[in-house]
Structure formats: structure tokens, C-alpha cells
Homo-oligomer: A and B are copies of this chain.
């Protein structure tokens, strides 16, 4: 019964989840982590499930969701709403990622052409026509 509390201190949670302790406070401010309980002295005391929440956050980040999107996803999950669950947002994110891949593929093609054409000096290429580099203004496209 040594007067210590149940749960994890911020340092322990940070350690367990592999993040910086400061990041916990940051996530709390951003609404990703619910306000934890406190000891009498005001130190944070997290329930063990917090480790899972952090792992979920990191997994979602790896899938390309921003912290705002993750906060939203968690909020939806907490309130059992069905308005736009993970599946739908995952589909939207898939489209986004497909677009990013397409953009990168276009850039890759251009770079390949530049290498193939033997471009070796940007300014030179810009002057002497017939260089594959896209000097004309960007097509906004969005």
C-alpha cells in the first residue's frame, strides 16, 4: 500500500509507446488524447489503454492521416457515430495517395528524360530549346 497511484505516469507511457513525453502533452492539446486523471499533486496518471490509443495514432499517421484527421477519427470512434467511419475515409485517403503517386511518377518520368537527354546545366537547358525540363508555368490542376 505504499501511497502510489494506479496507472502510468507520463514518462512511463511515453516509454511504453515509444514517443517523447512532450508529445503526450502536445497530443492532449490537439485533442488526440483525452485529459488523463491526476495525482493529488497534479501529475498525469494514464490508464493502461492509453498505450493502445497511442499505437493507433501512430498507425494512422503511418497511413498518411494528419493529426487533425486522426483526432476526428478517434472522436467519431468514441461517440459511436456512423457518419463517416474509417472505411470511407480510408477510401478517400487511398485516392489521395493514388494522386500523389501519379504526381511522383510524372516527376520521375521527367527526370528520366532529362538524364537521358544529357541535360547537365539548368540555365543552359532553359536557353537552348529541346530540353525536356518543364520550364513553362505549372498547370495548377487542382
Contact = CB atoms under 8 A, between A and B. Distances in A.
9 contacts: A52-B135, A55-B135, A55-B137, A56-B123, A59-B133, A63-B110, A85-B121, A90-B119, A97-B108
Interface in A59-112: 59-60, 62-64, 73-74, 77-78, 85-87, 90-91, 93-94, 97-98, 100-101, 104-105, 107-108, 110-112
A104 B123 CA distance: 32
Interface in A31-59: 52-53, 55-56, 58-59
Interface string A21-32: 000000000000
A3 interface: no
Interface of A: 18, 52-53, 55-56, 58-60, 62-64, 73-74, 77-78, 85-87, 90-91, 93-94, 97-98, 100-101, 104-105, 107-108, 110-112, 114-115, 118-127, 133-138
Contact of A126 (B18, B56, B63, B91): B56
Contacts of A98: 108
A134 B104 contact: no
